[in-house]
Amino acid sequence: MADSASAVERQLVTPEGVGLRIRLGQASQRAGAFLIDISIMAGALIALTLMALGAAWVTKMQAGEFILTVWLLGAFLLRNTYFISFELGARAATPGKRVVGLRVAARDGGRLTANAIFARNAMRELELYLPISFMFAGGGEGGVDSWVYLLGVVWSGVFVLFPLFNRDRLRVGDFVAGTWVVQAPKQKLLVDLADDGAERLARFVFTDAQLNAYGIKELHVLEQVLRVKDRKTMTAVAGRIRNKIGWTPQAEEHDLDFLSAYYAGLRGRLEGQLLFGRRRRDKLDVG
């Protein structure tokens, strides 16, 4: 686990105007995550090779050529789909990133789009895979092959070390895609937040109109606010919600209690709408 004292913090402002404090992933964390992912990919290739070997033995095929074809195809598919498929998921993280507590996020505070995921991972071809291909393509000694090998080492080194020389520890792919890698330590499950809010909801009574003020997008932002529990942020968000829904604060009403109760009420309302086929994306979705 990363040392929180040495973590680099940034203030992220969401499109809703909510300021959230995040910690950027450390170089050691990102390197560890990448090594885990590469190990998983290597394990998958080994398993695929053994399966191909077994298939060749059963069908009496030429094992060498068949296994090479299967291995090359498997390597191509893994390097082009592994990172993209996992980062397109809800957790926006590969297994390696999840182990060390990292995830990919949009630098503008908005939603992480598929285009951004494709862009940041397409750049990995230029950053790493292409120079490595050059290095292994030349098998001779001396002359051009030596220079190609040296160029590949320098090329890879520049891109690999690039995050160490910018304040936000961005890969070139992150620059292109508008993303960064942030710390996402393991926390309580979503259902725990809802249960916690349900206890407070008994002390608050929200009308349907007040719960209809926001959608799924704002629910996710509110969830993050409740997880971080930064006092200034909670005060600002509670004020925005009270103004939006016309809520008059009760005597000695705490922001955390109000936000937790509203979270539980909003989540219940949205889940109820989903049962009838209605999915409200955000506060502007009034269709």
Is the residue at 236 inside a domain?
yes
- Assess whether 38 and 178 both reside in one domain: yes
- Assess whether 83 and 207 both reside in one domain: no
- Assess whether 172 and 202 both reside in one domain: no
Is the residue at 70 inside a domain?
yes
Is the residue at 280 inside a domain?
no
Domain total of the chain = 2
Render pLDDT for 204-225 as a digit per residue (tens, 0 to 9).
888 888 888 888 778 878 888 8
Last residue of a domain, one of 183, 210, 227: 183
Predicted local distance difference test score (pLDDT) of residue 211: 87
Per-residue pLDDT for 198 more than 90?
Answer: no
Is the residue at 36 inside a domain?
yes
Mean pLDDT of 4-20: 59
In this structure, are strands 19-23 and 102-106 parallel, antiparallel, or unpaired? unpaired
- Residue 67 — pLDDT band, cuts 50, 70, 90? confident
- Assess whether 38 and 120 both reside in one domain: yes
Per-residue pLDDT for 175 more than 80?
Answer: yes
> What are the CA-CA distances from residue 40 to residues 33, 72, 95, 201 (Å)?
11, 17, 9, 44
- Assess whether 174 and 226 both reside in one domain: no
Is the residue at 42 inside a domain?
yes
Per-residue pLDDT for 184 more than 60?
Answer: yes
Is the residue at 19 inside a domain?
yes
- Residue 143 — pLDDT band, cuts 50, 70, 90? very low
Q: Is 272 helix (H, G, I), strand (E, B) or coil?
A: helix
Cβ(168)–Cβ(105) below 8 Å: no
Per-residue pLDDT for 15 more than 60?
Answer: no
- Residue 284 — pLDDT band, cuts 50, 70, 90? very low
Is the residue at 146 inside a domain?
no
- Assess whether 178 and 232 both reside in one domain: no
Answer yes or no: pTM beyond 0.85: no
- Assess whether 92 and 170 both reside in one domain: yes
Render pLDDT for 220-278 as a digit per residue (tens, 0 to 9).
788 888 877 888 888 989 999 999 999 988 777 888 888 888 888 888 777 666 544 45
- The pLDDT mean for the chain works out to 77
Give CA–CA dist 174/107, Å, rounded: 9
- Assess whether 176 and 36 both reside in one domain: yes
Per-residue pLDDT for 45 more than 80?
Answer: yes
**Where in the sequence is the domain holding 210, given as residue range(s)?**
190-273
Q: Give the dihedral sign, CA 110/111/112/116.
A: negative
Per-residue pLDDT for 285 more than 60?
Answer: no
Q: Which of 95, 97, 101, 155 is nearest to 129 (CA)?
A: 155
Give CA–CA dist 202/69, Å, rounded: 63
- Assess whether 34 and 173 both reside in one domain: yes
Is the residue at 131 inside a domain?
no
- Residue 51 — pLDDT band, cuts 50, 70, 90? confident
- Assess whether 219 and 102 both reside in one domain: no
Per-residue pLDDT for 187 more than 50?
Answer: no
- Assess whether 247 and 175 both reside in one domain: no
Mean pLDDT of 135-148: 58
**Candidate from 77-81, 187-191, 229-233 with smallest mean pLDDT:** 187-191
- Assess whether 229 and 119 both reside in one domain: no
- Residue 90 — pLDDT band, cuts 50, 70, 90? confident
Mean pLDDT of 14-32: 73
Residue linked to tokens 């895979």 = 129
Predicted local distance difference test score (pLDDT) of residue 84: 93
